[in-house]
Structure 1
């Protein structure tokens, strides 16, 4: 696999042919706990940085990267590529596409995806600040600030609000991910990060 993206039917066929395919879910542990592909390894984007060179040098095979919709998996692929690993492919549409295709998932405690939480918080702040600006004009600048932040997030493919929301207790899983075990599984160094 050398393509930089792959669709859900191709990933399903790959997993069916080779159940040991390295499917790496880069979402937060809480999102992963909510629903994930059976056999996938959770290696959150925000915790992978110190391990990229080790993954690039020692990965035991090609990787399929997934997140909720695609952008975080693309960031992870770009970071892996920067570290020298070129055999990673992003599943287009992420878990949203996987579930829309009717593919099987392992379900846990239901939580909203970070992207949905960002839309709720940003939209609520904009709505409240616009309504408040009807009685106090300067409140409109709060809406402008949120709009600028969302524009910056789109241009840079990062989201400060999502990073902040991921730290909330609601977004913490029952069991924290063992990043070392995830990396060890992906590099063949022993240990199992699968749940």
Structure 2
């Protein structure tokens, strides 16, 4: 009991708790944004399971280059257009933005619209290009 009464030890305990929380933060924040897939796994979902790719970037960004067969649905319009994205709500959906930052909002909107299997592309279109995969203009 004397261990907890010493203020130096309390400071060390507080430091350990804070540093543990900071180490766990990336995992906690990633799971809050939903499931993510890398470019390789996304390609497998598209080719083997017929995943629908939804590009949530603005039309000008989409026009500069997008994933093959990606459907444009800007984030601001996503809630209204969710029903028309896929006929089967159990089909996998891959949400794509430029860097992967905006896709967590879209992920939540699509889950709320009733889609069961929604993924965000880690790193977005930038990671797709970095992996050497093609874009369509």
Question: TM-score per shorter chain, which class?
Answer: 0.5 to 0.7
Does structure 1 residue 11 correspond to structure 2 residue 36? no
Q: C-alpha displacement at 1:98, in angstroms?
A: 0.2
Task: State the 1:106 CA deviation.
Answer: 1.1
CA distance in 2, matches of 1:68, 1:46: 15
Could you say which residue in structure 2 is the equivalent of 1:133?
A: none
The partner residue of 2:134 within 83, 94, 104 is 104
Residues 1:78 and 2:94 are matched in the alignment = no
Show the counterpart of 2:91: 61
Counterpart secondary structure, 2:95:
strand
Match of 1:47 among 52, 77, 89: 77
Secondary structure in 2 aligned to 1:71?
coil
Shift of 1:90: 0.4
The one of 95, 111, 120 equivalent to 2:125 is 95
Q: Go from structure 1 to structure 2 and tell me whether the alpha carbon gap of 1:15 and 1:78 turns closer, same or farther (over 3 Å shift).
A: same
Which blocks of at least 5 consecutive residues in structure 2 are unaligned?
1-33
Aligned-residue RMSD, C-alpha: 2.4
Highest Rg: 1 or 2? 2
User: Cα offset for 1:71?
Assistant: 1.9
How many residues in Structure 1 have an aligned counterpart in Structure 2? 104
Extract unaligned runs of 5+ from structure 1. Answer: 108-195
Indicate how the Cα distance of structure 1 residues 81 and 60 shifts in structure 2: closer, same or farther if over 3 A, else same: closer
Cα offset, 1:74, TM superposition: 1.1
Against the structure 1 CA distance between its residues 10 and 28, is the aligned structure 2 distance closer, same or farther, given a 3 Å change threshold? same
